Structure 1
Amino acid sequence: MPNQSMYTGALKQVAPSSASRPYSAGTGAVPRVPVVKTHPIPPNQQDCARAWLDQGACDQAPAKPAAAVVFVRDGANGVETFMTYRVKSPMGRVAFPGGLGVRQDYAPLGWVGPGGEYWAKSFAQEDLGATSAVVVTAIRELFEETGVLLAGDNELSTIELTSGHECMTSRQSVAQQEKIFADYLERRGLKIRADLLKPLARWQSPGFFHKRYDVHYFTCAVPVGQSPSLLAGKGIWGRWVSARDLTAAPSSTALGDEIGQPDTVGVPFQELVTPGVMYLLEQLAGASGAVAFLSKRRQVSLYLPEVKRDVTGTCYLSVEEKKV
């Protein structure tokens, strides 16, 4: 694999030339050639990646279920999304709101929208309960991290004004697992609005990570009357960003400098995010608008990053799209 595919921008696409593609006999049709994407591994992770490859690349931690939500809205330069900074996370230092699933996400709660069978089919999983729990994870993490609550008392309503002191206190209690999310909703007479979410993609962390996530990505618009806000005492940075601006300059350190943390200052944007985040940003950047992105019919894909090493000994991630 050419070295330059690793250094000239995140998630470069690599495919065989037309001369090397097999043709169907007698038809002249060209079969679909898998698209391979590459993504740089940050310098501080190179030793771990090399050691993992040297050991045979066979021992990897199980990928724990996780979820993230990609907000979309129209901006001055194309589609915008809300991103946050997180500390030492396999989901990336800059990512969409989300996090790891917890046992309480299996608790019974009021529900509006498609159930476990729909989500299990969307993400190619057999366990309907586990997939339903991932939907709860997405909505719970969204509430904790941004204060946006996808819930209402029926299928025609969503709660408004979630930025008050009482709401912030509840967010902190749920985030610290002092209060069960399902209990909070029941006390307020609310049901989660699973119908407001759309499945986007599923990405798993590379095998050399000590903590691996199986991230289920969803997308939606922020309900009327609500706006994202950082969790008091935990949020460090978060704001709406232009997907086009970020993907147009993956080597820029401007965003990392703006965040101002020791592990972001001077770091290129492409090293602050995971391949999954960069790929979805590229999809947002190419969309004609927020409504078009939300309404697009898509088949969810499973992405499994593979660690590879070039002739210089530098490790990188190679990802082949697999339809699920």
Structure 2
Amino acid sequence: MVETDAFIDEAVAGIREEIGDAEAVIALSGGVDSSVAATLAYEAVGDQLTPVYVDTGLMRKGETDQVRETFSFMESLRVVDAADRFFDRLAGVTDPEAKRHAIGEGFIDEFETVAREVDADYLVQGTIYPDRIESEGNIKSHHNVGGLPEVVDFDGIVEPVRDLYKDEVREVARALDLEAVIAERMPFPGPGLAVRVVGEVTPEKAAVAREACHVVEDELEAYEPWQAFAAVIGKATGVKGDNRVHGWVVAVRSVESRDGMTARAQEIDWNTLQRIQSRITGENENVARVLYDVTHKPPATIEYE
């Protein structure tokens, strides 16, 4: 495990040395990885840093308000409403890798736009070790690693937690006194709900996934999963009231893991699963079925795309 105090000192010094007197922007998502990277970078260069949170329309329920509240102490925080631009990029795209690349390019465009406004030369990211392993090993591209375009308009990309696993990042978050809502929250994929929608991503599918994920996180909190969520995986026939419907199929997934490299599906009480399906189908008239995914990693990945 990482020795947190030594790591923090070395990371701050490394960021300060790499950025120098230049301006930098940081990709801030609200997750623990980017939050730790932002806190380290802010400690290193202070007002030279502009945190940029991009609302892609693919975020968790309430994420944007949570980020505004948590990072209000950073006066330079920028919240960018880019949902329409991201859905335009994803229109007609069904291949998982193509989706990840479209999202990676979209993020870079948004960061470069802000960087030009503040004259920033560096981009700081919360890339962690499993992101690099999965991208370099051709398991899947991460939007902030293999999903980046080949040419970016920055002098350098700074990744202060690139050699840490998720559990080590959490240790650093606690040492930095980050709020539990950040330090202990479940992982959320950089491409957001786009990888929890099989096939083309639309505003409707994203909205269904967002509400279903909220239900799953709420109902499974007591199980303390490493990650729990819902994904929209297709359509099927159902009955609501006296009417036949062709509605969305939602898959629920809850896993235990140490670092995300491997994972085991959790055993969930039947009554809890029934409560989840009742809420998801009851709160969204367009959902016809709810399934529970019992597959471990491997052979499956944790996320769907």
TM-score norm. by structure 1 comes to: 0.26
User: Higher relative contact order by CA 8 Å / sep ≥ 6: 1 or 2?
Assistant: 1
Which has more strand, going by share of residues?
1
